[in-house]
Chains A and B, each alone.
Chain A
Amino acid sequence: MGIVIPMAVVTGFWALVGILGPFVVRRGPNQGIIRTMIVMTAVCCWAFWILVYLHQLNPLIGPQIPVKTIRWLGEKWGNTNN
């Protein structure tokens, strides 16, 4: 999976929520509040996702895993060296 696809999908999803969501809200006394809530939700959720994503983008350290788990990992998740 490349970087572009998840980036585009998740960002697109929250952008959709944040930008189109407010237009879906029906007219009424609470319209303004619901719109604000939708936009804030989209911003907060996207921000947290991108923070977690960016932190893993270029890992500076690798996981230290017990030997037996590494062997299990090799069997289940594959090896990169062959």
Chain B
Amino acid sequence: MSSSPDDTTPGIFRSEEVCLSQLFLQSEAAYTSVAELGELGLVQFRDLNPDTSSFQRKFVSEVRRCDEMERKLRFLEREIKKDQIPMLDTGENPDAPQPREMIDLEATFEKLENELREVNQNEETLKKNFSELTELKHILRKTQTFFEEIHRRDGPGSVRASASTSATDREPLIHVDDEAHAPGELFRQIFGYDRRTTNEHRQSGGGDSMQGGGGPDDVIVADPAAESETMELTGPAAGHGHAGMFANFGFVAGVIQRERIPAFERLLWRACRGNVFLRHSEIDDVLNDTATGEPINKSVFIIFFQGDQLKTKVKKICEGFRATLYPCPDTPSERREMSIGVMTRIEDLKTVLGQTQDHRHRVLVAAAKNVRMWLTKVRKIKSIYHTLNLFNIDVTQKCLIAECWCPVDALDRIRMALKRGTYNKLEEESGSTVPSILNRMDTTEAPPTYNKSNKYTVGFQNIVDAYGIATYREINPAIYTMISFPFLFAVMFGDMGHGTIMLLAALFLILREKQLEAARIRDEIFQMFFGGRYVIFLMGAFSIYTGFLYNDIFSKSLNIFGSAWANSLLPNETQPFFDKGLLEVPLMLVPEKAYVTSPYPIGVDPVWNLAEANKLSFLNSMKMKSSVILGIGQMTFGLILSYHNYKYFHSDLDVKFMFIPQMLFMACIFIYLCLQIIVKWLAYSATAGVVFGYEYPGSNCAPSLLIGLINMFMMKSRDAGFVGADGKVSWGCSNNLWYPGQSFFETVFVLIALACIPVMLFAKPYFMWKAEKERQAGNGHMQLGTAETVLVIVAVVQIPIMLFVKPFFVWRRDKAAAATRESVRADMNGGDSEAEVVHHEPKTNGGGGHGHGDGPLLKDGDGTEAKKLDMADVMVYQAIHTIEFALGCISHTASYLRLWALSLAHAQLSDVLWTMVFRAAFRSDGYIGAISTYLLFFAFFFLSVFILVLMEGLSAFLHALRLHWVEFQSKFYGGHGYVFAPFSFEKILEAEREAEEA
């Protein structure tokens, strides 16, 4: 271990010590060694071939093979999902397979993929055949029914027609021939019962249908007798080859999607001018689309037409509508035969299809057991080769050289892992191989920041990391944030009721942790709450505590310990108000009489909840003062942390010329203010007396601290004491000096604070410049150094004295006007706008390039490595830092007042919710009262949860976040680091899985 004394401090406050190491891996053992390191997950490899493109690296072909395997596995997975076969995912973690296993895996996947593709192809063909046959079956069946229906219409004649002797049919044919003037008319008469569809044509076609041979008009006049006559024609009309005009009278039959029927019908009618006849019927079974497998509704149609020209036209239209045409024999017997043939073929196909599907299922079920495990294996192989691609290959080709960052703590474990990796290899192959070597290297490069975290701390670590990754080995604020964050949140959110809701919600997430994690809910908002469940839990717990101190539970108070206040008014004092009916007139219970010597022990006295008139002025004063004290406390704590940082980095320069002046500045103005607040609390009460040697007439003379602070800066002369020489209480007594020597002390404090500013500004750059000069000179005159230091400090302190002392005395002589309330406001506003400037400032730090780290770097005397000192740069950085600190202290103190503002807003909102919504329920009695209580409770609860807990909670969360990022961390946090990203199978697999699910 290194000799640094700071190593004895526990490691939790800083990031892990990380060192750069070189690895020499035998090329045979490199793969297994990297696999072991991946399981360990504690090593971050550096790319040693940054100039080589990813296509020129050594193991590019292996990576490609892995990609190919992954593709095949994903294909398999898709197929498995399509068949809804459950995939076995035990979450087990198979070891990365040996490189030669890769060939086996590849062969397995290749076989599986080919098999599956073949099966799929076969299945597709079979299915296509099957659906075609099914369609044909339907066509045959439907056309059969068309024809049969027609015969049935004919009554006894149908028997004759089915005999299908052309001679008997001849007679009525001629009969029709006389009547039919156009072929369209003929068809219509043949299928006269289909009047409805033709009527539709007439209606929709409008003028067109009139041109179409005037057929439809005749339909209406056609009487049933004429129809029954024409029926006899149908038998022969269905086929070709009959004598007379039916010699070229043909039909086509096919299947079309049901939705296309109306358009199809209309187009046929128009294109063929009504000279074709369409008859269609819906297929009752739902067929499946061959390509997509989606269910689809289809209809059988049959079109009659005359002549080849029409035939081609009809066929074209059918094609256009994606209708499938099937051959349909002319005669019933042929149709029947065909139908039987089709049925047997369908049955055969069904058997074959079933077998194919069974086979596919078996293949997939077998694959489903392994597919997740295979995927894990392949991903591991791939990541190993990716890592190997980062390595350098030795000239002898015997070994691979890697550079990596690894935590010093874990070096032994890494060595063990390497040994395992090499040993596994040796076990299998005889032959002496040199073990892998891990070599620690020295580097000037800043190592990555590695903060260990567990599931409790990760939420807070994320809060800190969101602002910036800590500089290497810098104090990690997350440790302190773990309590201070929920605490500051709770100061703003203090309410027992709302805190309990929040606590229970977090408790639910924590207790159901395992189940919720397993459910892998991808919802972003849920993920946010789930990830922060321990943060929310602590926030809820602290809110209950602060709510208890604020004595607020849904804006109501508890009187547990007995109020410190009682009634001091005599009945004869209150009676007049009752007589006049002025029940709501507020009367003050004066503290001298109504207050019982000791305060309510824990929290705010419940009497203030009843004091609607001046509750706010009491609470505001309390919350404001607490905010300032808590804020200054936190900022001082931040400064102390900065001391530990400087100390850790052995930067005496920073301790002397940054920490000490900053602390002095803080103490002289802000800690002094806090002390004043506390002294005022302790010393001044409502009763008159003698305080600090001055006669104190009563509460109206209690010193006003804010105006006092302004007067302190302006060095305004004031009267000492509250009572003038004449024994009268002087006007504006609260602004007077209130302890002996106050004027002197305050002057000294202001001067010290002002003197600190030039020290902060110039001292560090000066010493850096001096050190640089000495280094260049080659040897330093150390004895001169001390003398110089003293001289410089004296000189620097002179500056503010020269600047301010004379004006101060001049000022002191003339009596300036009293400070007004406006000046306070102006100052506060000024402070707030500063807060904005400061908020953006840390980003510019990185550009400055001279962080805290520069001190140690130059001090280390690493002459060759140290950058040449750029005085302008240093000065700019120092000026920014000084201005940021000096103004920041003021604006940050003002910024902490948000603790007061938000808790005030929260308390007021919950009060309004109670009085406006829920209280109304208690005004009515009886059943109405019960019902209104029941209903209003829901409104109250809903608004409580959504507005007060969720919205207010979010706002308080953001403000607490800001207080930590800006006000707290600006005091000590550099945040110039980069995160330690080790090569870890666990992380890689998790990332892949998330990408898969996204």
Binding site for B on A (CB under 8 A): 1-3, 5-6, 9-10, 30, 32-33, 36-37, 40-41, 44-45, 47-49, 51-71, 73-74, 77-81
Q: Does B516 contact A (CB under 8 A)?
A: no
17 A-B residue pairs with CB within 8 Å? A6-B598, A6-B602, A30-B454, A33-B12, A36-B480, A36-B482, A40-B483, A48-B491, A53-B599, A58-B685, A61-B591, A62-B588, A64-B613, A65-B610, A65-B611, A67-B578, A71-B567
B690 to chain A, nearest CB (A): 15
Stretch at the interface among B44-52, B569-577, B778-786, B938-946: B569-577
Residues from 214 to 267 in B contacting A, C-beta threshold 8 Å: none
Residues of chain A contacted by B586 (CB below 8 angstroms): 64-67
B884 to chain A, nearest CB (A): 27
Which of the residues B565, B577, B612 comes within 8 Å of A62, measured between beta carbons? B565
Which of the residues A37, A40, A47, A77 comes within 8 Å of B567, measured between beta carbons? A77
CA distance A44 to B633 in the complex (A): 10
Q: Does B484 contact A (CB under 8 A)?
A: yes
A63 touching B633, Cβ below 8 Å: no
CA distance A81 to B629 in the complex (A): 37
B593 touching A80, Cβ below 8 Å: yes
Q: Does B790 contact A (CB under 8 A)?
A: no
Given contacts A44-B484, A71-B574, A79-B568, A62 and B589 within 8 Å (CB-CB): yes
B603 touching A52, Cβ below 8 Å: yes
Per-position contact with A for B132-152: 1 when CB-CB < 8 Å, else 0? 000000000000000000000
Which of the residues B483, B598, B608 comes within 8 Å of A63, measured between beta carbons? B608
A44 touching B483, Cβ below 8 Å: yes
Q: Does B995 contact A (CB under 8 A)?
A: no
CA distance A49 to B454 in the complex (A): 31
A49 touching B602, Cβ below 8 Å: yes
B911 to chain A, nearest CB (A): 16
A75 to chain B, nearest CB (A): 8
Which of the residues B482, B574, B685 comes within 8 Å of A37, measured between beta carbons? B482
Residues of chain B contacted by A70 (CB below 8 angstroms): 567, 569, 574, 587, 589
Residues of chain B contacted by A36 (CB below 8 angstroms): 12, 479-480, 482-483
Q: Does B791 contact A (CB under 8 A)?
A: no
Residues from 599 to 658 in B contacting A, C-beta threshold 8 Å: 599-605, 607-608, 610-615, 617-618, 621-622, 625-626, 629-630, 633
A33 touching B583, Cβ below 8 Å: no
Of the listed residues B484, B542, B587, B599, the one surrounded by the most CB atoms of chain A closer than 10 A to its CB is B599
B630 touching A48, Cβ below 8 Å: yes
B601 touching A1, Cβ below 8 Å: yes
Given contacts A36-B480, A47-B633, A63-B611, A77 and B565 within 8 Å (CB-CB): yes
Residues of chain B contacted by A55 (CB below 8 angstroms): 621-622, 625-626, 681
A29 to chain B, nearest CB (A): 8
Q: Does B594 contact A (CB under 8 A)?
A: yes
Given contacts A40-B483, A47-B633, A57 and B681 within 8 Å (CB-CB): yes
Q: Does B828 contact A (CB under 8 A)?
A: no
A33 touching B599, Cβ below 8 Å: no
Binding site for A on B (CB under 8 A): 10-13, 454, 456-457, 479-480, 482-484, 487, 491, 542, 545-546, 549-550, 561-570, 574, 577-578, 582-591, 593-605, 607-608, 610-615, 617-618, 621-622, 625-626, 629-630, 633, 678, 681-686, 699, 702
Of the listed residues B13, B542, B569, the one surrounded by the most CB atoms of chain A closer than 10 A to its CB is B569
Residues of chain A contacted by B597 (CB below 8 angstroms): 2-3
Residues of chain A contacted by B613 (CB below 8 angstroms): 64-65
A48 to chain B, nearest CB (A): 6
B608 touching A79, Cβ below 8 Å: no
B549 touching A49, Cβ below 8 Å: yes
A58 touching B682, Cβ below 8 Å: yes
Which of the residues B10, B456, B546, B633 comes within 8 Å of A32, measured between beta carbons? B10
CA distance A73 to B607 in the complex (A): 9
CA distance A62 to B593 in the complex (A): 10
B593 touching A67, Cβ below 8 Å: no
B248 to chain A, nearest CB (A): 96
Residues of chain B contacted by A69 (CB below 8 angstroms): 610
Residues of chain A contacted by B11 (CB below 8 angstroms): 32
CA distance A79 to B574 in the complex (A): 13
5 smallest CB-CB distances across A and B, nearest first, come from: A63-B611, A58-B685, A74-B567, A6-B601, A40-B483
